[in-house]
Amino acid sequence: MEVLAYLIPISLFLGGVGLVAFIYTVRSNQYDDPEGDSRRILSDEWDDRPKP
């Protein structure tokens, strides 16, 4: 059962990474325009150079 000493912190850490990533996406307005973003990625306009 010693393996629990590693597994529980690891699983909690990985879950926490997911939570932090989600909070980051909420805070940086990534859910403001879901429809537009799903289409923007198909545009090849800024493929060669980044948008100024």
Partner 1 sequence: MTAQLTTGTAACPGCLAAPAEPARPMSEDVQIALSLPGIHCSACIATVERELNACPGVEDARVNLTLKRAMIKAAAGVRAADLIPVLGQAGFEAHELDTGALSATQTDKAGRDLLMRLAVAGFASMNVMLLSVSVWSGATDATRDMFHWISAAIALPAIAFSAQPFFINAWSALRVRRLNMDVPIVLAILLALATSLWETALSGAHAYFDAALTLTFFLLAGRYLDYRTRAAARSAAEELTALEVPRAIRVIDGREHEVAVGSLAVGDHVLVRPGGRMPVDGQIISGQSELDRSLLTGETVPVFAETGQTVSAGEVNLTGPLTIRATAVGTDTSLHRMADLVAVAESGRSRYTSLADKAAKLYAPGVHILSALSFVGWYIYSGDMRTALNIAAAVLIITCPCALGLAVPAVTTAASGRLFRKGMLIKHATALERLAEVDTVVFDKTGTLTEGTPELVNLKDQTPSDLAIALALADGSSHPLSVSLARAARDAGVRPATISNLVEVPGFGTEATFDGQRVRLGRAAWVGAEGGSGTSAWLATGDGAPTGFHFADSLRPGAAAAVEAFHRAGKTVVLLSGDTQGAVEELAGKLGIRDWVAEALPQEKAGKIRALTEQGRRVLMVGDGLNDTAALAAAHVSISPATALDAARVASDIVLLGNDLAPIAEACKTAEKATRRIRENFRIATIYNVIAVPLAVAGLATPLIAALAMSTSSITVSLNALRLR
* Site residues for partner 1 per CB under 8 A: 1, 4, 8, 11-12, 15-16, 18-19, 22-23, 26-27, 32-36, 39-40, 42-43, 45
Which of 18, 20, 16 is CA-nearest to residue 28?
20
Q: Residue 39 is encoded by which pair of tokens?
A: 């289409």
What is the nearest approach in angstroms of partner 1 to the Cβ of residue 50? 15
Neighbours of 16 (CB within 10 A): 10
